[in-house]
Structure formats: structure tokens, C-alpha cells
Amino acid sequence: MSEQPPLVLVVEDEPDLADLYAAWLGDEYRVRTAYGGQEALDRLDEVDDDVDAILLDRRMPGLSGDEVLAAVRERGIDCRVAMVTAVEPDFDILKMGFDDYLVKPVTSDTLKDTVTGLLRRGEYDTEVQELFSLTSKKAMLETEKSATELADNEEYRRLTDRIAELRSQADESLEAVTEDDEDFAKLFQEFDDGN
């Protein structure tokens, strides 16, 4: 018996949009949809620890995406989460436990690339996962905030310090890996490009 494809949970309160995302991903992944926050938590109970990635809208009636994300992390569900939302990011994202953040509208290719990236991140140790997550948050804030706003924000400064610390640790680990390990080299290339 072959291994099943990864399971992606799409959480979106607009059913047409949730179904569209599911259709885009359905050829490569097992996909479940939830049309609200409480339904998402119910779906997570049904699939147990089997979910590999969650695409989560932030602004939903009832339980918001932020509350769903907090519940996922409190339950210790080990999966990657991308916020896919119309909510422009603010500094509050620095305290949130997601791995990636997409602002709607998104394309099929962007959504597929995001899921691929989320699943690849799940293969690496926690420090590398943290580096991915923090780098994503930093990039999103740099897109949305002015240089002055960034410079004046203490949390943003702590974020950049933590990224530098994690990159230094990753550089030390990289020395132990052979130079012909292409996948590993690609992993760190996007961080070097973001300097």
C-alpha cells in the first residue's frame, strides 16, 4: 500500500472560495474544507493528528482564524499553518504561531507553492522551522510598513535579532553538510536573498 498524499485543511468562511482552493489543491493532496472556525476545530478532531497543513482565513464570523490558530497550537497539533486572508498584516502577527501569511487575492500557483513550502518546512527541525516562520513575518511586515514604523517597533527589532541568531546557527549547521546537497542549499538560499 502506498503512502497517502499529505492532508490539507482549508478553512474559509466563503464556501465558493474554500471549494476553489480545494479544487486547486485536489490533484496533489487530500483536502478537507471547513466553512468556519468551529467547523475547522471539529474537522481537526475528526482527522486526529493526520493534518499536515492548514490554510486559514483570519476574519470569520464566530471563531476567528486567530482563535483557531491559538486552539491548534494549544492542542499541540503538529502541522504547518498559512494565513490566507484579506486582513493586511500588522505587528500583531509577530506573536502569532503561523508559518506563512498570504494576502488575498491569491493565485492557484501561489497557493500551491505555499502548501509545498509548508510541507517541506515540516521536514526540518524546529529551529529551521522557526527561521522560516520569522523570515516570512519579517518579509510581510517590510512590505506593509514604512522603514520608520519598523525602526520604531521594539518587537520588530527583537524579531530581526532572533533571525540573525537563527541564521548564525544555521550557518554553523550548514558547514557540516556536503556542498552537493542541493535541497539543503536551496533551503538557505531564500534566506540569503532576503538579507
pLDDT of 60 reads 93
How would you classify residue 79: left for phi > 0, otherwise alpha for psi between -120 and 50, otherwise beta? beta
The H-or-E segment that residue 75 falls in is none
| pLDDT for 140 | 87
- CATH T-level assignment (fold) for domain 7-123: Rossmann fold (3.40.50)
Closest CA to 46 of 29, 33, 28: 33
Query: What's the whole-number average pLDDT of the chain?
Result: 84
Burial of 4 (0-12, 13-18, 19+ CB in 10 A): exposed
> Mean pLDDT per segment of 10 residues, for the chain of length 195 residues?
81 96 96 95 81 93 92 89 88 84 93 90 73 88 91 93 86 54 52 51
Query: pTM score, two decimals?
Result: 0.69
Detail the DSSP E strand segments found in 13-79. 30-34, 51-56
So where are the chain's domains?
7-123, 133-193
Contact 47, 54 (CB under 8 A): no
pLDDT digits (tens, 9 = 90+) for 89-137: 888 888 888 888 999 999 999 999 999 988 887 666 677 778 888 998 8
CB 53 within 8 A of CB 80: yes
DSSP state, 94? G
* CB 136, CB 100: distance < 8 Å: yes
- Contact assessment for residue 34 and residue 57, using Cβ atoms and an 8 Å cutoff: no
